[in-house]
Chains A and B, each alone.
Chain A
């Protein structure tokens, strides 16, 4: 309490509770998004200036429980314990009260000052759910405030409460378990008295019985003797209840939440099927579900690509003018050209970011906020399982069709490291919008549209097989899908704008440095006149094995920067965009196959590097180069039979 006017609060809650909406509402533009030390998990902080107070707000990652399953969960509880926030605002999805209360009970066990925000109270009402929040307040002895975050209602009341209660000692009533468990907790608490750990003693006792690895290790270091007692007590509990002691506690907590819920809510069921029910039925039923999915995704790609091609073309003509201006006014000497290469790399990013990624993200977040994305995971889970990952991985693939960079970033939604990695590798094989330019501009235009579509099917088959292989190679159990199915709700524009903006910023920050550096390096090699030597060096592969003109060696080098450069440079070298003059049909298809798989572009490589380390990133590149050369060589030989 050094500064009277400074308060810090954290937002905690389960996924889909509307936490980020609250965060954005409170902090507006005063946000800072970084990473938790050493983790790839986002840390969102912001500041609110209100009634003369400076209130620091931290948005903890969305979680289901405070027991150590995932990194997010550990981060949250450790933060609460070590940083002693003045208040933990527990954001609750009122339409899923019971499930949310299980988490609330765990928060209360941490003995930190808690304020409950019953968010989406309007949606609960619509579903016929009335919540007696005063009664809930009485039961847990903590403030409970109904809110509708998307309209901002109730949020100032929460902050007023924070200011009111600041400095007061919270005295929440912490629930009691059954008498056997309570007796164990009591015995352990006696033994733990005065232990030099920052956690509440009762909480440590509960965690020991829950067999929490971290806490068990910590206690073992201080007082090893206690662990024998824990073992004895948990064996006792297991004998009585027939379950592992950790399960017994989780079970009882869940039953407590259900008991409290029954006491405080009244449900007046709506006899007629709600709009949500009907939408849910149409979008998840066996046949209509898939039909709707194909329509929605097809519509999304079609609109993004047609908008993107238009805007990208517009940018193209503008940037060409700039380049002309540059070569006239600055010159085309070595240094001037290198500078232009750097500028061009940035412009190229802009040319991907705004025409393609921006609309892509907007539609995607719109679908997510509406509640549709979870339906896709549901529908696709079975198919994804055949590749060793679960339904959520499908979302990364969909994003990957737009751009592999956000596709790889989105793999963070996968729970285990193993699945995150498999999904990322597979995403790098998804033909992104740049590869689509090659497929359609080369094969679609000069060989035939059916061949172009065939290449897409081929890519899907390759991804499927690669998934099967990598799930066999990477040891570990596939994680099963456990996902809350959100109700459909009116999308909240502000949230979508914030999410899109964050994602776009991340894309540019991650991709920009490496794209600029490699752009300059490759241009330097080009200007130094080493390119012919490189194409000769690569000719055993390009000419002998793949049957392509020697110049493709250079194209493939430039293609690492951005895949569509393969086509752009080809046109530049040929002096015409009529590619059929220079390439035969089988050469075009072979070149397209190589371009699809031969290496992730530098921007994607930089994400892989950031998320999985340089060793894995390099391993993926080398493997994909070898794989693409092998595959395209075989394809060439087969195509020779066809044409």
Chain B
């Protein structure tokens, strides 16, 4: 069980949890825009915290802090151990 990898949306991670980005489920404009901010598959991403009522998610990726809208964050598929 330990080695089994789980794929979930970024929004499913707990605050403080880290995951590796597997893919971005979105059009190419969005995917590119995110890539320009360092959000690409294979990159590590850490959820810092979110707001009440499934609001936006604050993440740390590529050494920077970013805020992503909830709908957007749910399209980022991550892998956790």
Chain A positions within 8 Å of B, measured between CB atoms, are 64-65, 67, 69, 95-99, 102-103, 210-211, 243-244, 246-247, 250-251, 253-255, 257-258, 261, 281, 284-286, 289-290, 374, 377-379, 381-382, 385, 390-391, 480-487
Interface string of B44-81 (1 = CB under 8 A from A): 00000101111110100011111111111000000000
Whether A258 touches B52, Cβ cut-off 8 Å, given contacts A246-B32, A480-B71, A482-B72, is no
Partner of B32, one of A95, A247, A258: A247
- Asked if B4 lies at the interface with its beta carbon under 8 angstroms from chain A, I say no
Q: How far apart sit A243 and B56, CA to CA, in the bound complex (Å)?
A: 26
Since A96-B64, A481-B68 are in contact, a sample of 8 more A-B pairs with Cβ atoms closer than 8 Å, ordered by chain A residue number, is A98-B38, A244-B31, A250-B32, A382-B54, A382-B55, A480-B71, A480-B72, A484-B65
Partner of A243, one of B31, B53, B68, B70: B31
Q: In the complex, what residues of A have CB within 8 A of residue B32's CB?
A: 65, 67, 210, 246-247, 250
Whether A257 touches B38, Cβ cut-off 8 Å, given contacts A98-B64, A379-B51, A382-B56, is yes
Q: How far apart sit A377 and B56, CA to CA, in the bound complex (Å)?
A: 10
* B37 contacts A64, C-beta separation under 8 Å: yes
Q: In the complex, what residues of B have CB within 8 A of residue A261's CB?
A: 62-63
* A378 contacts B31, C-beta separation under 8 Å: no
Closest A residue to B63 by beta carbon equals A98
- Asked if B6 lies at the interface with its beta carbon under 8 angstroms from chain A, I say no
What is the distance, in angstroms, from A557's C-beta to the closest C-beta of chain B?
A: 43
Q: How far apart sit A429 and B31, CA to CA, in the bound complex (Å)?
A: 36
Q: How far apart sit A162 and B51, CA to CA, in the bound complex (Å)?
A: 46
Residue among A210, A246, A251, A484 with the most chain B CB within 10 A?
A251
Residue among B28, B56, B71 with the most chain A CB within 10 A?
B56
Q: How far apart sit A281 and B43, CA to CA, in the bound complex (Å)?
A: 24
Q: How far apart sit A482 and B39, CA to CA, in the bound complex (Å)?
A: 11
Partner of B69, one of A247, A250, A286, A381: A381
* B67 contacts A254, C-beta separation under 8 Å: no
- Asked if B41 lies at the interface with its beta carbon under 8 angstroms from chain A, I say yes
* A378 contacts B56, C-beta separation under 8 Å: yes
Q: How far apart sit A377 and B65, CA to CA, in the bound complex (Å)?
A: 14
Q: In the complex, what residues of A have CB within 8 A of residue B64's CB?
A: 95-96, 98-99, 484
Q: In the complex, what residues of B have CB within 8 A of residue A247's CB?
A: 28, 31-32, 35
Partner of A98, one of B33, B62, B65, B67: B62
Closest B residue to A244 by beta carbon equals B28
* A378 contacts B58, C-beta separation under 8 Å: yes
27 contacts across the A-B interface (CB closer than 8 A): A64-B37, A65-B32, A65-B36, A69-B29, A96-B64, A210-B32, A247-B31, A250-B32, A251-B40, A261-B62, A284-B49, A284-B51, A285-B49, A378-B56, A378-B58, A378-B67, A379-B51, A381-B55, A382-B51, A382-B52, A382-B55, A385-B69, A390-B69, A481-B69, A482-B68, A485-B58, A487-B65
* B72 contacts A481, C-beta separation under 8 Å: yes
Q: How far apart sit A131 and B33, CA to CA, in the bound complex (Å)?
A: 26
Chain B positions within 8 Å of A, measured between CB atoms, are 28-29, 31-43, 49, 51-56, 58, 62-72
What is the distance, in angstroms, from A93's C-beta to the closest C-beta of chain B?
A: 8
Whether A254 touches B36, Cβ cut-off 8 Å, given contacts A69-B29, A284-B49, A483-B67, is yes
Partner of B52, one of A246, A281, A286: A286
Partner of B66, one of A67, A281, A484: A484
Partner of A483, one of B35, B39, B55, B66: B66
* B37 contacts A286, C-beta separation under 8 Å: no
Q: How far apart sit A369 and B69, CA to CA, in the bound complex (Å)?
A: 23
Q: In the complex, what residues of A have CB within 8 A of residue B33's CB?
A: 64-65, 69, 482
What is the distance, in angstroms, from A604's C-beta to the closest C-beta of chain B?
A: 29
Closest B residue to A486 by beta carbon equals B65
Q: How far apart sit A211 and B43, CA to CA, in the bound complex (Å)?
A: 24
Partner of B35, one of A254, A379, A486, A487: A254
* B38 contacts A99, C-beta separation under 8 Å: yes
* A480 contacts B69, C-beta separation under 8 Å: yes
* A258 contacts B43, C-beta separation under 8 Å: yes
* A481 contacts B38, C-beta separation under 8 Å: no
Whether A254 touches B51, Cβ cut-off 8 Å, given contacts A99-B63, A378-B58, A480-B69, is no
Q: How far apart sit A64 and B34, CA to CA, in the bound complex (Å)?
A: 10
Q: In the complex, what residues of B have CB within 8 A of residue A246's CB?
A: 28, 32
Q: How far apart sit A65 and B39, CA to CA, in the bound complex (Å)?
A: 13
Q: In the complex, what residues of B have CB within 8 A of residue A255's CB?
A: 40, 42
Partner of A97, one of B39, B55, B63, B71: B63
Closest A residue to B54 by beta carbon equals A382
Closest B residue to A485 by beta carbon equals B65
* B68 contacts A480, C-beta separation under 8 Å: yes
Partner of A67, one of B36, B52, B55: B36
Closest B residue to A67 by beta carbon equals B32
What is the distance, in angstroms, from A555's C-beta to the closest C-beta of chain B?
A: 43
Partner of B36, one of A250, A381, A390, A486: A250
What is the distance, in angstroms, from A388's C-beta to the closest C-beta of chain B?
A: 12
* B40 contacts A377, C-beta separation under 8 Å: no
What is the distance, in angstroms, from B70's C-beta to the closest C-beta of chain A?
A: 7
Q: How far apart sit A492 and B9, CA to CA, in the bound complex (Å)?
A: 39
Q: In the complex, what residues of B have CB within 8 A of residue A253's CB?
A: 35-36
Q: How far apart sit A480 and B39, CA to CA, in the bound complex (Å)?
A: 15
Whether A258 touches B62, Cβ cut-off 8 Å, given contacts A67-B32, A211-B28, is yes
Q: In the complex, what residues of B have CB within 8 A of residue A381's CB?
A: 51, 55-56, 67, 69-70
* A96 contacts B63, C-beta separation under 8 Å: yes
* B58 contacts A64, C-beta separation under 8 Å: no
What is the distance, in angstroms, from B67's C-beta to the closest C-beta of chain A?
A: 5
Q: In the complex, what residues of B have CB within 8 A of residue A243's CB?
A: 31
Q: How far apart sit A447 and B63, CA to CA, in the bound complex (Å)?
A: 56
Q: In the complex, what residues of A have CB within 8 A of residue B72's CB?
A: 480-482
* B58 contacts A250, C-beta separation under 8 Å: no
Closest B residue to A257 by beta carbon equals B38
* A99 contacts B56, C-beta separation under 8 Å: no
Q: In the complex, what residues of B have CB within 8 A of residue A374's CB?
A: 67
What is the distance, in angstroms, from B61's C-beta to the closest C-beta of chain A?
A: 8
What is the distance, in angstroms, from A90's C-beta to the closest C-beta of chain B?
A: 15
Closest A residue to B42 by beta carbon equals A255
Q: In the complex, what residues of B have CB within 8 A of residue A286's CB?
A: 49, 51-52
Q: How far apart sit A27 and B54, CA to CA, in the bound complex (Å)?
A: 45
Closest B residue to A374 by beta carbon equals B67
Q: How far apart sit A258 and B51, CA to CA, in the bound complex (Å)?
A: 29
Q: In the complex, what residues of B have CB within 8 A of residue A103's CB?
A: 36
Q: How far apart sit A331 and B32, CA to CA, in the bound complex (Å)?
A: 67
